[in-house]
């Protein structure tokens, strides 16, 4: 009878139907930062200029020669400047959550202070009346902007807007509708914050509106519905053989409590109906960017690495932190680069090496055998690319990348075979002590794979070296797990343990003559040096 397969342990975050409370809070707290990064990356290239406004809503603008307009979420000005060009009599107030977006508007060749008042504003907390006279705006345009606001705060935005609108003023609205392709893709990627509310790979958020929700939201905040409907369009990219089903809701609301006739449905969009997102950039928003990887150049002693890893803008949503390069890995790699005696002539195993593998690559210079391991498929894929592109053939011949989920007996046996079943002289783990549930399997795996050789020279005993920042798991918990599997802590850094062991002071000696990189000079970093009893 086959033994029951043990559940896999995620070293870092596990998959949830929704993002964790920690990330929900972070997305809300850092929303402005994520949009600033968005506009830093895309400038004014992401959205097309909205020349369809005259066709869709021209009668709202042309009823009088002069009107005052507020463009909420002005972005880089894709609504503002087409309106100014078509209706020269308009005066436009333009605000955005992102100060960088406002700067892009002011830098536009057609920006004119006498016609446009541009300012940064968070609609949910900043008073619009500080920038715009009360009851002075005829038309408010909200085009793909309310979706970026948390659903529980949308009423704050509408109440803020009401104060500066004239009686019977209009809100012209266009935004994402439920069933849009982007929503479907984000659902598959476990990036749900709450019902119909998702975070994209770059940290910006998007809510997907149903007609019922939208009309109810505006009605509860004192608006009547003039028109409301869902538009559907298929966007085809022939080179990628992808057909994208776009859905958005388009509506007009009036600040008037009078009873109105039943809301009018929008006519079906024509074949030439405009989609706001520029072709090419659309793939980023749908979560199918051409590349989410980036190259990090890293210099350590005589080593010059070009490491392929997950781009920083997507790191916060990935399920495996093995797709990043952590400070602890850089510190330990720097130590090994300056102290080859740690690994010289030895069999070296790295647990949870992630995609970088820089410790293993440096060890390969003088070690007899090096085996970097990880349990994540994508991390292993990038790890193979990185070692192949950074190491000479002579070093590649003694480095073997292996899959290893801690506690998996079959995978442990497969890794041990590489050492002729005698185990490894040095085992290294950098930032692998993050999740409490993984600590016992970590030491269980290290115990199964560490060499049983006991040299008379204490310092040459097989060693298990951990480098990390204490986060969710404290030192006491790590020592308790170590003791359970027969490991003894013989040295630690930065605070040496005070015993009579001749091993004491080993780690301090590693730092003699090392010029520390500012990027890894973190006082929270720790190194723990274990021997198997």
User: What pLDDT is stored for residue 504 in this prediction?
Assistant: 58
Please write the tens of the pLDDT for every residue from 203-231: 788 899 999 999 999 999 999 999 998 88
Low-confidence ranges of the chain (pLDDT < 70): 1-17, 32, 34-36, 38-52, 63-65, 187-190, 234-244, 257-293, 311-322, 454-459, 495-504, 513-523
The strand pair at 303-310 and 293-300 is best described as antiparallel
- Residue 265 is predicted with a pLDDT of 42
Q: Which CATH class is domain 293-532?
A: alpha beta
pTM: 0.52
User: Quick one: pLDDT at residue 268?
Assistant: 46
Query: How is the beta sheet containing 192-194 ordered, strand by strand?
Result: 192-194, 197-199, 205-207
**Over 19-50, what HEC string results?**
CCHHHHHHHHHCHHHHHHHHHHHHCCCCECCC
The per-residue pLDDT for 114 is 85
Q: Is the dihedral of CA 61, 64, 65, 71 positive or negative?
A: negative
Domain-by-domain residue ranges, the chain? 39-174+204-230+248-277, 293-532
Asked if 176 and 207 touch (Cβ cutoff 8 Å), the reply is yes
**Strand 165-176 relative to strand 242-254: parallel, antiparallel, unpaired?**
antiparallel
pLDDT digits (tens, 9 = 90+) for 343-389: 999 999 999 999 999 999 999 999 999 999 999 888 899 999 999 99
Q: Residue 260 has what pLDDT?
A: 38
Architecture of domain 39-174+204-230+248-277: 3-Layer(aba) Sandwich (3.40)
- Cβ atoms of 190 and 166 within 8 Å: the answer is no
């Amino acid at each position: 009878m086959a033994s029951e397969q043990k559940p896999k342990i995620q070293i870092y975050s596990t998959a949830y139907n929704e993002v964790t409370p920690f990330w929900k809070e972070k997305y809300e707290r850092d929303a402005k930062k994520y949009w600033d990064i968005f506009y830093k990356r895309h400038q004014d290239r992401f959205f097309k200029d909205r020349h369809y406004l005259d066709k869709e809503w021209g009668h709202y603008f042309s009823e009088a020669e002069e009107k005052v307009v507020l463009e909420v979420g002005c972005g880089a000005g894709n609504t503002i400047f087409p309106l100014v060009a078509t209706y020269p009599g308009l005066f436009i107030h333009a605000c955005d959550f992102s100060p960088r977006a406002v700067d892009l508007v002011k830098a536009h060749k057609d920006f004119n202070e006498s016609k446009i008042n541009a300012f940064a504003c968070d609609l949910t907390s900043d008073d619009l009346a500080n920038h715009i006279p009360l009851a002075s705006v005829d038309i408010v345009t909200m085009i793909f902007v309310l979706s970026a606001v948390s659903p529980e705060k949308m009423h704050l935005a509408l109440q803020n807007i009401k104060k500066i609108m004239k009686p019977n003023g209009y809100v012209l609205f266009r935004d994402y509708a439920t069933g849009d392709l982007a929503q479907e893709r984000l659902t598959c990627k476990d990036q749900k914050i709450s019902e119909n509310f998702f975070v994209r790979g770059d940290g910006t958020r998007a809510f997907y509106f149903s007609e019922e929700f939208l009309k109810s939201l505006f009605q509860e905040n004192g608006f009547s519905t003039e028109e409301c409907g869902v538009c559907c369009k298929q966007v085809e990219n022939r080179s990628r053989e992808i057909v994208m089903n776009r859905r958005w809701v388009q509506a007009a609301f009036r600040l008037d409590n009078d009873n109105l006739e039943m809301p009018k449905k929008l006519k079906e969009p024509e074949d030439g109906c405009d989609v706001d997102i520029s072709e090419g950039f659309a793939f980023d928003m749908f979560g199918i960017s051409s590349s989410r990887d980036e190259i990090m150049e890293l210099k350590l002693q005589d080593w010059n690495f070009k490491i392929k890893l997950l781009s920083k803008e997507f790191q916060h949503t990935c399920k495996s932190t093995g797709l990043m390069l952590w400070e602890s890995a850089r510190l330990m790699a720097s130590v090994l680069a300056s102290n080859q005696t740690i690994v010289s002539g030895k069999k070296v195993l790295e647990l949870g090496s992630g995609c970088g593998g820089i410790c293993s690559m440096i060890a390969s210079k003088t070690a007899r055998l090096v085996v970097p391991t990880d349990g994540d498929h994508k991390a292993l894929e990038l790890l193979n690319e990185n070692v192949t592109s950074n190491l000479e053939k002579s070093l590649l011949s003694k480095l073997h990348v292996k899959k290893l989920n801690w506690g998996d007996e079959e995978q442990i046996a497969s890794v041990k075979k590489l050492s002729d079943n005698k185990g490894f002289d040095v085992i290294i783990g950098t930032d692998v002590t993050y999740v409490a549930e993984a600590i016992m399997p970590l030491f269980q795996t290290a115990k199964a794979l560490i060499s049983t050789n006991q040299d008379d020279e204490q310092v040459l005993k097989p060693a298990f070296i951990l480098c990390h920042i204490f986060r969710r798991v404290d030192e006491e918990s790590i020592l308790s797990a170590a003791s359970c599997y027969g490991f003894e802590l013989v040295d630690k850094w930065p605070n040496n343990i005070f015993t009579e062991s001749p091993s004491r002071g080993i780690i301090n000696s590693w730092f003699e003559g090392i010029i520390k990189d500012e990027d890894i000079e973190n006082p929270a970093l720790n190194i723990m040096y274990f021997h198997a009893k």
